[in-house]
Structure 1
Amino acid sequence: MKSLMSFVMLSLVVTSLCGQEFTRQDYLRGSITAARKWWDVQHYHLQIVVDPEKKYISGSNLMRYKVLSPYHELQIEMQQPMKITRVLQDGEELSIRQEGFSHFIALKKPQTVDAVNEILIEYSGYPQESKMPPWEGGITWGRDLNGKHFVASSCQTEGPSLWWPNKDHPYDEAESLAMSVTVPDDLMNVSNGRLQKIDHDKKAKTKTFHWVVQNPINSYGVNINIGDYVHFHEKYNGEKGQLDCDYYVLSYNLEKAKEHFKDVPRMLEAFEHWFGPYPFYEDGYKLVEVPYLGMEHQSSVTYGNGYLKGYKGRDFSGSGWGLKFDFIIIHESGHEWFANNITSQDVADLWIHESFTNYSESLFVDYHYGKKAGSEYVIGSRTRIRNQKTIIGPYNVYKTGDDIYFKGANFLHTIRQIIDDDKVWREILRGLNRDFYHQTVRTEQIEDYINKRTKMDLRYIFDQYLRDIRIPNFEYYVRDGRLFYRWANTIAMFNMPLRVSFGDGKSLWLDPITSWRSMALPKSFRQLKADKNFYISTQNILEDN
């Protein structure tokens, strides 16, 4: 009863703070409940049969876990219309209590601290079909131009429990994964990690593809991709040696892909420079064609951009630089560092995935075309920022924030200006991927890391851009040979330095706060301009009023 009352109180507090209404399912899904926190998932082995004709999946998940503290109930998720048919431990069937799509398995044997146990979950059903992949999760049941089945999973927002049962919360990643996927024998399944073997059942006219992932993996990054694929391969000479790069495309797109996928080594060169070694050398890198736009599945990046530069042939930034590369190859591969290597512990902090990865596009342009080009790219994306909700969402309810792409990227670009040392900035980006290697993190850890590495106190700047919707307004006026200036439209303690010029070709730093400061103007003063690399607004309050 005490635990239930605490849970109810938490629900009321979060609802009050966020001004939003959440259901009990939101809390069961989004919080680290008592039935989750006592065990650590170690390994999943998915064994499934996919029937594209019937749009049906059946199989099992053998889940290995370590006991952190004794408890009697284990929580997993499986979303309707998929159904768990049976759960076994040590060959004994267990009972299940269901609330929404959260399932609470009653364990019979004692759960001893540090013991490593297994549980077998059998399931089947017709998984949700995505109507707008990848923004709406589910399975895409398509066909290629030859009429052959073309199937893929995508489930970042709604979660992987749409099609397989698992501990569906981002704080706990499996240390490794095995997948055995059976499909019709005229098709191929491509999943995460490395292909170990293929079993051919000629009587059943099926093939089973066995894949193994050696690294920790977030559950939404697990995928199946089924089609009439052909395969080609190259090796990239990277920071940790030879990286296997494997490409799976529809048979009639082979020659087109061989030319278009030359963006992959360019991506690896730029991102290993900025972020450090590709995080999954043991599992290789794959780019897999799918019947939707694409997504960041770990070591199995999916691609559906139509072999076009930009985003379906368009440049989000309007700068022209976005047409120098394939958006999906660069953006979704950037997630291998930010999302798959470094993963947020709560989806409220999903900006860690999307803001850094959105900014990785600018860094790609910077590396290949120069710093000015990279700045023009990210600045050009500001027209897509809404500023209606905060970047960080409410915690413990499985709810993301807003503006985690373009605003988040421009926030990071602003931080880069404040640091004012590209060597330090690069060391921070590489250090994040080194020191949080294969870990789940919170926003506070990212903040503390950047503060310590820069020896700056940037906490109010993080608060302003991540936890407030207002964009800082630099107010100023000139009177009697002096410049008066301050920050407005900000939180109370906001104190961000700003680089400005006075129209004489020279720049200098100001240190505005939320109260007025002043300085004597240089004799060469003609016009004040704030550096456009800072995501702010400016206002001469005498001229504008």
Structure 2
Amino acid sequence: MQVFRKLFVFAFFFLFVSISYAQQKFTRADSLRGSITPERGWWDLNYYHLDIEIFPETKTIQGTNTIRYRVNAEHQVMQIDLQEPMRMISAKQDGEKLEIRQEGAAHFIHLVKKQVPGAFEELIISFEGQPKEAVRPPWDGGITWQKDDHGNHFIASSNQGIGSSIWWPSKDHPADEVDSMLISVTVPKGLMNISNGRLRKVDNGEQTDTFHWFVSNPINDYGVNINIGDYVNFGEKYEGEKGTLDMDYYVLRNNLDKAKIHFSDARKMIEAFEYWFGPYPFYEDSYKLVEVPYLGMEHQSSVTYGNGYQNGYRGTDLSGTGWGMKFDFIIIHESGHEWFANNITYKDVADMWIHESFTNYSESLYLDYYFGKEAGKEYVRGTRARIENKLPIIGRYSVNYRGSGDMYYKGGNILNMLRQILNDDEKWREILRGLNHEFYHQTVTTTQVEDYIALEMGMDLSSFFDQYLRNSTIPVLEFYFSDDQTLHYRWNNCINSFEMPVDLILGNKEIRVQANNQWSELKVNERSEVSVQPDYYVGSFRLR
């Protein structure tokens, strides 16, 4: 009776949380930011040229963004986003200044030229201002303005969540990635700017230098970055699955010697993740690891680093198992996003689990590759202590609302559990690689990812994903022995449709059973201790 009382309280708590989640209020501004509005839907991004100058002393930016796009349907109003206190000065097409109507961060530009489906057109946006300063980057995004130990400016952008439009005008929605991009950044003499892609050239002036970086692959808007400082560079070549990969490292001058030793994790990461996920997705744009004045983030081909040249996450093991101290968390995790976030990108921020669950799981696969399968599994199981189970992993669509932070640790455990259910490690590796091949350089939905995994596993996983991604409760396996030495079992504390095979350990034997929310039976030779194989993220109760 006590067990049922606990389960009732548990279920009531999560019912209350779910109701609160459903009642979350959203504004028109949320919809303008998070949905494919009519003013966004009629055109596809083709090319950006972001051309800016940075003024560190006043913490301001000014410049232009040239936007080339393909017309898909007749429409005469375009939405471009730029958040205050940045200001959009003008919008021009074919030299003609256009009318701009502003509604918060959304700027509705009224085009004079008739927009003909199939045509490619350009728009030039001029802008300036003092962008929001990041208070707690990368979680609280914006621009970080600091100085290094020698008094040199040390500046970086980080804007996941808050959006690229916090510092430059863009089509600030993840569903449409620009096909290629030129990033031109003018900085005071003596400083370098490192951005995404490859450095094409440097224009040297009397007081300033302009660095031109070209990105030849599609890039998500939040991945575009600037990193400015007194950098020194070293690099190496990696012979990978698609040929020779250029790997470059940009660090502050004082940190060069230790970076040459510590950044060996980057090469090890490429080797491990090419094994698990397939070729590095951006050979054409190279791989860069860039020191910044905050913890770090997954900017495409310009991964940023600020973990203090130490293993773990700021010197701690997030799993509590000891395995987390075998690698530098920021190098491994943020680089893992090159496959999941930058190669495969969500169409809506509600599906952010596609980025974070797989990348969290990549940490354990790195350990698996170098230290063995059990090391990786111990690590991912160890992170369960950080799971809260208060809200679903998937957020609300079309309002720029991400799901629960459980997308990290719970997400990693979900994927580890799918591997256990499949029970075929080579097939599991094929699925991970297949995802990066099937959705190469694409924006995707949760449904696409779910369907691909289910198809390749040959299983109906609809109730599995509904339970673990769209609900916050954790299934509990209830069981008991009847007098005739029969084991009775069922899933409880779950959605009505939930069914999942589970591996049980009975005494010294392991056996797989199919379970749903109805009582099932298993004949046994004798009663024995019963437990669930530990890679299943579930609860269990023996009723009597």
Match of 1:190 in 2: 194
TM-score of the aligned structures, taking structure 2 as reference length: 0.95
Q: Structure 1 residue 17: deviation in Å? A: 8.7
1:322 and 2:324 matched: yes
1:374 and 2:366 matched: no
Aligned partner of 2:460 among 457, 460, 466: 457
1:522 and 2:516 matched: no
Q: Structure 1 residue 18: deviation in Å? A: 2.8
Aligned partner of 2:242 among 240, 243, 266: 240
Match of 2:217 in 1: 215
Match of 1:44 in 2: 48
Aligned partner of 2:494 among 468, 490, 493: 490
Match of 2:304 in 1: 302
* Structure 1 portions without partners, runs of 5+: 1-14
Give every structure 1 segment of 4 or more consecutive aligned residues whose post-TM-superposition deviation is greater than 4 Å: none
Letter in 2 for 1:19: Q
Aligned partner of 2:104 among 86, 100, 118: 100
Q: Structure 1 residue 529: deviation in Å? A: 1.2
Cα distance between partner residues in 1 of 2:462 and 2:271: 32
Aligned partner of 2:259 among 257, 260, 263: 257
1:467 and 2:470 matched: yes
Deviation readout 1:158-203 (Å, 9 max, x if unpaired):
000000000000000000010110001110000000001101111x
Q: Structure 1 residue 16: deviation in Å? A: 11
Deviation readout 1:451-503 (Å, 9 max, x if unpaired):
11111101100000000000000100112211010000000011100011112
Cα distance between partner residues in 1 of 2:451 and 2:120: 34
Cα distance between partner residues in 1 of 2:290 and 2:153: 15
Name the SS of the counterpart of 2:125 in structure 1. Answer: strand
Name the SS of the counterpart of 2:362 in structure 1. Answer: helix
Aligned partner of 1:123 among 123, 127, 139: 127
Deviation readout 1:243-297 (Å, 9 max, x if unpaired):
0000000000000000000001110011000000000000000000000000000
Match of 1:405 in 2: 408
Cα RMSD (Å) of the superposition?
A: 1.0
Report if aligned partners of 2:138, 2:294 keep a CA contact under 8 Å in 1: yes
Cα distance between partner residues in 1 of 2:135 and 2:63: 24
Name the SS of the counterpart of 2:365 in structure 1. Answer: helix
Report if aligned partners of 2:180, 2:219 keep a CA contact under 8 Å in 1: yes
Aligned partner of 2:292 among 290, 304, 313: 290
Q: Structure 1 residue 39: deviation in Å? A: 0.1
Report if aligned partners of 1:35, 1:104 keep a CA contact under 8 Å in 2: yes
Cα distance between partner residues in 1 of 2:503 and 2:117: 56
1:67 and 2:62 matched: no
Q: Structure 1 residue 414: deviation in Å? A: 1.0
Report if aligned partners of 1:179, 1:210 keep a CA contact under 8 Å in 2: yes
Aligned partner of 2:39 among 35, 42, 52: 35
Letter in 1 for 2:468: Y
Report if aligned partners of 1:18, 1:394 keep a CA contact under 8 Å in 2: no
Report if aligned partners of 2:296, 2:330 keep a CA contact under 8 Å in 1: yes
Cα distance between partner residues in 2 of 1:155 and 1:362: 27
Report if aligned partners of 1:138, 1:155 keep a CA contact under 8 Å in 2: yes
Cα distance between partner residues in 1 of 2:22 and 2:93: 40
**Structure 1 residues 395 and 149: alpha-carbon distance in aligned structure 2, compared to 1, 3 A threshold:** same
Cα distance between partner residues in 2 of 1:309 and 1:52: 32
Deviation readout 1:388-433 (Å, 9 max, x if unpaired):
1100000000000001111111111111111111111100000000
1:174 and 2:175 matched: no
Q: Structure 1 residue 446: deviation in Å? A: 0.5
Cα distance between partner residues in 2 of 1:188 and 1:251: 12
Cα distance between partner residues in 2 of 1:534 and 1:522: 25
Q: Structure 1 residue 35: deviation in Å? A: 0.4
1:418 and 2:447 matched: no
Aligned partner of 2:83 among 74, 79, 88: 79
Deviation readout 1:333-370 (Å, 9 max, x if unpaired):
00000000000000000000000000000110111100
Match of 2:11 in 1: none
Percent identical among aligned pairs is: 58
